[in-house]
Amino acid sequence: MTTALELQLQGYRLTTAEILYHLPDHEGLLQTFIWQDYDISPRFPVLQRFLMFWEKNIEGRLHSVRVAHVPLIRPAEVRHAASLGYLH
C-alpha cells in the first residue's frame, strides 16, 4: 500500500471535489457529496475513475463537480513581523 507521503513525492496532491447530484426519487432536488483523495492535476485520473464509477453504479444523475487541490509539500512560508507588542 502506498503512503500519502509517497504519493505526494510522485506528484499527487490532495484533491477535494464537491459533487452535486440529482436525488433519484426527486429529480428537482440536489444533494451534495464531498469526495477527497490524492490525485494529479490537471487531468485528475483518480477523480475521473470515481465519476465513471458513479455514472455506472449510482442512480443519482450528476449535476456538477467543483474541484480544488493544493500541494501539501511545499517550501516553508516565512514572514517577518512588522511590529512587536507586549501585553501585561
pLDDT tens digits, 55-87? 999 999 999 999 998 876 666 666 667 777 777
Region 4-70: CATH code: 3.10.20
Q: Which three cell numbers stand for residue 26?
A: 426527486
Q: Whole-model pTM? A: 0.77
Query: Which residues, at least 6 apart from 88, have a Cβ–Cβ distance to it below 8 Å?
Result: none
24 vs 72, which has greater pLDDT?
24
Buried b (16+ CB within 10 A) or exposed e, 41-79: eeebebbeebbeebeeeeebeeeebeeebeeeeeeeeee
pLDDT, position 88: 63
Phi first, then psi, for residue 63 (nearest 5°) are: -105, -55
Average pLDDT over residues 2-24: 91
